[in-house]
A and B are shown apart, each in its own frame.
Chain A
């Protein structure tokens, strides 16, 4: 496995298991398709440290999203083990919140009620009205708190989905290409907002993307996946201060390396 770095790796990120947020060991997973087993994930070992922003980069359809669903606990792995904070993941838990590619807001509830979903599900609603307003303000939707999802633009809907996750203060945020379907301007803006949220709140983030640039702008570490069945092909540490710029020579150099690994030399 190749580990390329821009600069010396941040020692606080790579050492020790005491601050491991997610530990994936010998993980393989299959899909049942028309009676046959299709291997989607092959023998994956990966540790994610607390507070890290890790991007899972790979060709689309390689199984990255499946890995995220497994970490979220929506599915159980068929081989190997995933644990979060030392506990084997058995089922979904509000400490690990998955933000989907589509906002999947409940169309029958307004933004405020959508954001309240997690707190309401756990019976925490009465004491946390203020938290909901704060989360909505955080993503800049205060004026739309009482709007229904069909009245929102794609970017606003995805912000609402982000607020719905963040209001729960999850130690681990799983992002499944949440910006994938947005227009490029909204996308850049939300990338900046995600970085500053991550810096302020200090959660661990795991982002699935097939956009090399997005990974480079957001992540402190990039894991490169192969075609299906996905296995880890390479790993890059991006030790670069935020906010990052696309035209930074180091970023451009690393981008070229990653693209070369993906077989797309420019």
Chain B
């Protein structure tokens, strides 16, 4: 059987069996796997103490209890129930994953401290260092938003100019192609010289990383707009400024959004480095600080925060795109 056919079969099985006689069967399996994780966590001793063991066991047990209740009521709770049922297989897998994770790290010590941490070790980081992490999140978001937004605004304007004007493109495109592949971090020595504060230099690094993909994608978007739209605009009496505003800009938006998604990922990737520049707080700074002291559990815990932040912002960007590009539906 081909891979696609198999995938289809699995899909149809899980679509048919999650609810059986008014009960959410996946919910029961999820409850069992989460309960197993809770029992393993409290009943077996840790090889090396990690802290927050009881709390983690309590949380997973609460999860198990929730899925147990939902076993009965998920099929009757409307949208929440639908979402739960859809992600049912994931909940089972997460429970199994947590149980195995506990066993291999804290319980048997196959993956040893300090290189690895059990889930309750990560939880312990949030419990013990939560306040500092919150401050770090604030600092990082401040740096990220200043850098990202200034970067995409400048990148967008540059992109429109490059895509529209032949002479701008003659001079600008080769330069952009040369500096595009250079990692933003390579500019650190220059930024120290040119910027009054290290904070401004950090913003510049983030802005550069986010600006370049937007500039490149916007210019290719503007340059690839169907010429006949411009003919229509000109025939109807539109001047150059009108053609840019009303045709080039909206027509290139699908490209621009591709650029924005790339910018988002690049900007997060350079955050850690940007916060090397004399920062006192920030998730990147925290990661480096903890790496230096072998606090790998703290590093992992922080990476999870960054991943969640990035995924959340990317979700917002997706929502914005779907709103702005409703007209595109017939084309995709």
**How many contacting A-B pairs (Cβ < 8 A)?**
76
| Main DSSP-derived SS at the B contact region | helix
Interface residue count on the B side (C-beta < 8 Å):
24
Does B327 reach chain A (CB closer than 8 Å)? Answer: yes
| A122 x B253 contact (CB < 8 A) | no
Does B11 reach chain A (CB closer than 8 Å)? Answer: no
Do A92 and B235 contact each other (CB < 8 Å), given the known contacts A100-B228, A104-B229? Answer: yes
| A117 x B330 contact (CB < 8 A) | no
Which one of A91, A98, A106, A168 has the greatest number of beta carbons of chain B within 10 Å? A106
Which one of A91, A92, A168 has the greatest number of beta carbons of chain B within 10 Å? A92
| B235 x A150 contact (CB < 8 A) | no
User: Chain B residues with Cβ under 8 A from A118's Cβ?
Assistant: 236-237
| B236 x A97 contact (CB < 8 A) | yes
Q: For chain B residues 216-256, which have a beta carbon within 8 Å of chain A?
A: 226, 228-229, 231-239, 242, 246-247, 250-251, 253
| B236 x A121 contact (CB < 8 A) | yes
* Closest chain A residue, CB of each to CB of B237: A94
Does A74 reach chain B (CB closer than 8 Å)? Answer: yes
Does A109 reach chain B (CB closer than 8 Å)? Answer: yes
| A150 x B234 contact (CB < 8 A) | no
User: Chain B residues with Cβ under 8 A from A96's Cβ?
Assistant: 235
Partner of B235, one of A72, A108, A109, A151: A72
Does A137 reach chain B (CB closer than 8 Å)? Answer: no
Which B residues are closer than 8 A to A by beta carbons?
226, 228-229, 231-239, 242, 246-247, 250-251, 253, 326-331
Which A residues are closer than 8 A to B by beta carbons?
69, 72, 74, 91-94, 96-98, 100, 102, 104, 106-109, 117-118, 120-122, 148-151, 164-165, 168
23 residue pairs of the A-B complex, CB under 8 angstroms, read A91-B234, A92-B235, A92-B237, A94-B236, A94-B237, A97-B236, A98-B231, A104-B226, A104-B228, A106-B246, A107-B327, A107-B331, A108-B328, A109-B250, A117-B233, A117-B236, A117-B238, A117-B246, A120-B246, A121-B236, A121-B239, A150-B329, A150-B330
